[in-house]
Amino acid sequence: MKNRFVDTLLRNPTDRVPIFEHVIDQRFVKHAIGLDERSLNLTGEPYARLAQYMHMDVMTLGYRPRVEGTSTREAFAAMRLADHGEFLRQVDNCLQQQEKTGLGVNVYVHGPFDNTYLSMGYETFFLNLADDPAFIEDMMDVYTEDAVIMVKELIDRGVTTIEMVDDIAYGKGLFIQPDLFRSLWVKRMKRILEQIHASGTPVFFHSDGDVTHFIDMVLDMGFLALNPLEPQCNDIAALKRQYGADITLMGNLDIGGVLANGTPDQVRLDTRKLLEIMMPGYGYVAMSSNSLANCVVPENYMAMVETVLEFGLY
């Protein structure tokens, strides 16, 4: 089934710029379809209505297995990840809607790095990097193997795309020293990606922060796209010039600025500027600079959508 979002990831010509968001908080969901829920709690028909309202081409579900508070070896030994069944039933419900609506199903799977530091807690994680690095690796291995199993389930079900989410950076660089990060992360992420690439399922990557510190790793591992390109630490025009021929770029419309505190006209202006920079050669997906948090004014976001529908045509 042809899908505008997939075509853009693959750098195929398409009719217009796609619109994408992977997490949509209660304020916008209630505005759009009247339910006081996050998108991550939606499935099936309600999600399809939300996606259609936003003119998106895919519904996105998020798999987050981390067990918070696992800060000691003893707690880690007792840690049990949730059974995949409940989440996969949610995926199946969305796949049924795919048959009815033509909407794709994207699933994001958290990677081993942020699952580990969010399970341990930031302070404990950084202390363990110095005092017990084997503990870090042991936990990363558990989350890597869980992701491998989940990804196989998703491939077998025929999901449209897979998004690997691993927040590895902040506004000034990677969270940890680059050589150490590579030694911990790359081999584990490649293990997860191995069967995705073998299946031909389109896969893309999410991390906050300054992407210039890791975009070359993302390219080397075969990711097709990168989001969300926060404007506070990313010059999207420079990224387009340097990497636009090699990877689809997604996002950059400021949730903490114009989407939360601006007016619809200001959003339209910023969106048109982004489209003018990013549309040539395809390879751009319109998206906020993170997710639709509750600070985002729904009418402002819909001004972005309306602008893409009018000016994002090829």
How far is the C-alpha of 80 from the C-alpha of 150, rounded, in Å? 15
Pairing of β 104-110 and β 161-165 = parallel
- Model pLDDT, residue 123: 96
Does the predicted TM-score (pTM) go above 0.85?
A: yes
Tell me the HSE value of 289 on the side-chain side, using a 13 A CA sphere: 27
Residue 92: how many other CB atoms lie within 10 Å: 13
* 65: nearest Cα among 28, 107, 14: 107
How far is the C-alpha of 53 from the C-alpha of 46, rounded, in Å? 11
Instruction: Tell me how far CA of residue 51 lies from CA of 97, 173, 183, 223, 307, in angstroms.
Output: 11, 33, 39, 24, 17
Q: Which 3 state secondary structure label does DSSP give 258?
A: helix
How far is the C-alpha of 215 from the C-alpha of 204, rounded, in Å? 12
Burial 96-107 (b: 16+ CB within 10 A, else e): ebbeebebbbbb
Which tens digits make up the pLDDT trace of 264-312?
Answer: 999 999 999 999 999 999 999 999 999 999 999 999 999 999 999 999 9
Average pLDDT over residues 44-72: 96
- Residue at 107: amino acid letter: V
DSSP string, 264-291: HHHHHHHHHHHHHHH-TTS-EEB-BSS-
The residue extents of the domains of the chain are: 4-311
Residue 47: how many other CB atoms lie within 10 Å: 28
Torsion, Cα of 22, 25, 30, 34 (10° steps): 50
Which tens digits make up the pLDDT trace of 115-162?
Answer: 999 999 999 999 999 999 999 999 999 999 999 999 999 999 999 999
- On the question of pLDDT at 179 being above 90, the answer is yes
- On the question of pLDDT at 78 being above 70, the answer is yes
* Residues 265/305, Cβ–Cβ less than 8 Å: no
Which tens digits make up the pLDDT trace of 217-264?
Answer: 999 999 999 999 999 999 999 999 999 999 999 999 999 999 999 999
- CATH for 4-311 (3.30.565.60, 3.20.20.210, 3.30.450.70, 3.65.10.10): 3.20.20.210
Tell me the HSE value of 294 on the side-chain side, using a 13 A CA sphere: 6
Which tens digits make up the pLDDT trace of 135-147?
Answer: 999 999 999 999 9
